Amino acid sequence: MPIKEFNGLSVEVDEEGFLTDRTVWNKDIAAAIAVEEGIGPLTDRHFDVINFMREAFEKHGTAPSIRQMNKMNIIPTRELYELFPGGPAKKAAKIGGLPKPRGCV
């Protein structure tokens, strides 16, 4: 597995850059991944989505899809795309230290 360095911490990632051990994740790593993904500084609203995804992953063993978040009224789909352009579920999961959601290309 490849190794990446985020803010002085070396972590193992898969071939797409997703953390292989979600327990090493922290907000500093999230901020560094967000920069790599072309997302500006993370806001509280970004962390609302990220924290929801992390909690859902702990409960269900998989990150929720955009459709699931929309159905649960977590965040409007339009805002989700504004916060995480170019693949919101995939990018939010990656920034949140989670595996790539099922169904994401």
Distance CA 80, CA 78 (A): 5
10 located within any domain = yes
Distance CA 87, CA 91 (A): 6
Q: Tens of pLDDT along 49-97?
A: 999 999 999 998 888 888 877 787 778 889 999 999 988 999 999 999 9
Question: Residues 104, 87: contact at Cβ < 8 Å?
Answer: yes
Distance CA 27, CA 64 (A): 20
103 located within any domain = no
For the chain, what is the domain count?
1
Residue 96, Cβ density class (10 Å: 0-12 exposed, 13-18 middle, ≥19 buried): buried
- Domain residues for the domain of 57 are 3-95
User: Could you give the 3-state DSSP secondary structure of residue 44?
Assistant: helix
State the pLDDT at residue 76. Answer: 87
Active site residue 104: yes
Question: When comparing pLDDT for 31 and 66, which is higher?
Answer: 31
- pTM of the entire predicted model: 0.89
